[in-house]
Structure 1
Amino acid sequence: MNRFQSSAEARHQPGKKDRFAVVIPAYNHAPAVEKVIAEAMELDLPVFVVDDGSTDDTRERIYRFSEIRILTHEKNMGKGAALMSGFMEASQIADWAITMDADGQHNPSDAKILIRAARQYRKALIVGRRTGMDGSHVHWTSRFGRKFSNFWVRASGGPKISDTQSGFRIYPLPEALAWKTKSRRFEFEVEILVRAHWQHVAVVEVPVGVSYLPAGQRVSHFRPWRDFFRNAKTFTGLILRRFFTRPVKTSPESKA
């Protein structure tokens, strides 16, 4: 049984370019950001870090690395906005953007697993499915949020995958910039799954590890009620568009 779970067929085409870059959005992640950057640099790939208007010393910690490319938002614009800024810059030198969170929950070396999948499923969107997220050590709001998101992504006409909230991904460039996502905060990552699927882009899951720290040690900007309503607004718009405006899809060749 293939360990890759795909929402659509995607064919490998020899000769395509294989340039990867890492994009790390950061907002008040001072406790973990240096470790994340240092480990990402071990991949020997260009690293773009987007400081999304941090008010702690995140920016100062980022600037300790002279080898990376740093982008700054003077005020907080949201995770989606930070990712889009990173995509725009990375697309000038790369065909793929590897995204990982700055809170330390991802193991940057697992990016090699995602890269193998990206090379197998050309121009797919690769999602790192975090293993162990259903354990009792994971706060109930995170478990509920993932199940809620998975259901509504599917109801919106998106892919049927098990970890729609994972931020450890590989996006094809420049395609990800052309999928017309409207959200610019946390809900960006669920909306872009739906919009990619509307365009017949394969969404492929691969298993990756996760370091889920106790609540007192974890840097999280997730706010259950606020983000619930933001997600609900996003899903409502996607569902209405799906059923009443019939989103236009590209030709099947876009799966390649």
Structure 2
Amino acid sequence: MLEPTACATVIPCFNESASITTLVMAVRQQLPFVLVVDDGSTDDTASLAKSAGAVVVKHERNLGKGAALKTGLSRALKQGYEWAVTLDGDGQHAPEDLPALLRGAEQTGILLVIGNRMNDARKIPWLRRQVNQWMSRKLSQRAGRPLPDTQSGFRLIHLRTWAALSLHTEHFEVESEMLLAFLAAEHSVAFVPIQVIRRRRSSHIRPVTDSLRWWKWWRGLERPPAPPVEIESGRPHASQPEFNRAFIR
């Protein structure tokens, strides 16, 4: 398994005082360096995380999950870490699943390993599950391969590879953008099964607002060019009416 000293943990947080202490203490049993990015919280998330043993970086105002991840991953890279695990601050990810992600990278050499919740998807609230699966279908179609859980925030990321990518989103669409960027750079991606922990309180995700933002991002992607079409000599092109009448049924 990857050496724990080579891997940081990055936890983006916004008002997670109810869960952050337990989470940080549990993660530190697996990986000693935990970096909490407090994304403009109005509660005592930052002080509780620090008391539990985390290094805390604060945003003065809420900038979004993508921005918080960028802050945390950049800090981990500057401190000399080769890898970083990201997980959500609300306690939905089980720290005991961390070794599965580390083994996945060590055994395959893959530079992005994602925790897949879909084997236990019934524990995810119905609306959120439907939205996640719809997004995963869209991204799978674009990638040309099955991507079972594109919205999972529980990931193991090779930091220098991540830093070489061009990523721009600052909100929840960051998971999708990162995944496609790794694939576009011809890096393989692995999914490993993880458990799902039911939330004890509502998510910070806003289904309508965040889904619309994701859709706007999706529609703005540069579409891949169409493959070249060989046209036989004397045969009308597909744009011509004669072709449509003769060959399209």
TM-score band (shorter)? 0.7 to 0.9
Structure 1 partner of 2:90: 103
Provide the aligned C-alpha RMSD in A. 2.2
Change (3 A) 1:157 1:131: closer
Indicate whether 1:226 and 2:209 are aligned.
Answer: yes
Distance in 1 (alpha carbons) for counterparts of 2:74 and 2:184: 22
The residue type equivalent to 1:97 in the other structure is A
Q: Bigger radius of gyration, 1 or 2?
A: 2
Q: How many residues align?
A: 224
Q: Which structure is higher in helix share?
A: 2
1:134 shift after superposition: 3.0
- Change in CA separation of 1:158 and 1:220 when aligned onto 2, cut-off 3 Å: farther
1:60-89 alpha-carbon deviations (Å, 9 max, x no partner)? 212313x42211111111111111111111
How far off is 1:155 after superposition?
3.2
Kindly provide the amino acid, as one letter, of the partner of residue 209 in structure 1.
Answer: Q
Q: CA deviation at 1:204?
A: 0.1
How far apart are the structure 2 equivalents of 1:57 and 1:185? 22
Which residue in the other structure is 2:196 paired with? 210
Determine which of 33, 36, 39 is the counterpart of 1:46.
Answer: 33
Amino acid across the alignment from 2:88: D
What amino acid does structure 1 have at the position aligned with 2:133?
A: K
> Residue 97 of structure 1 aligns to a residue in which SS?
strand
Give 2:220's aligned residue. Answer: 237
Asked if the contact 1:158/1:193 (under 8 Å) is kept, the reply is: no
Amino acid at match of 1:91: L
C-alpha separation in 1, matches of 2:11 and 2:144: 25
The amino acid that maps onto 2:166 is K
How many angstroms apart in 2 are the aligned matches of 1:77 and 1:220?
Answer: 17
Which of 150, 157, 170 is the matching residue for 1:164? 150
Whether 2:22 is the aligned partner of 1:35: answer yes
Whole-angstrom CA distance in 1 between matches of 2:108 and 2:5 = 12
Post-superposition offset of 1:17: 11
Summarize the Cα distance change of 1:76–1:42 in structure 2 as closer, same or farther, 3 Å threshold: same
Pairs within 5 Å for 1:140-179: 140-157=126-143, 160-179=146-165
Deviation at 1:133, TM superposition (A): 4.1
DSSP 3-state at the match of 2:90: coil
Q: Given the two structures, how large is their TM-score scaled by the length of structure 1?
A: 0.81
User: Is the Cα contact below 8 Å between 2:17 and 2:48 reproduced in 1?
Assistant: yes
1:236-255 correspondence to structure 2 within 5 Å: 236-238=219-221, 240-243=222-225
> SS of the residue aligned with 2:198?
coil
Report the TM-score when normalising by structure 2: 0.83
Q: Unpaired runs of 5+ in structure 2? A: 227-249
Separation in structure 1 between the aligned mates of residue 31 and residue 133 of structure 2, nearest angstrom = 35
Which runs of 5 or more residues in structure 1 are unaligned?
1-15, 245-256
Q: Deviations over 1:3-40 (max 9, x none)?
A: xxxxxxxxxxxxx9981111111111111111110101
Deviation of residue 140 (structure 1)?
1.9
2:130 counterpart of 1:130:
no
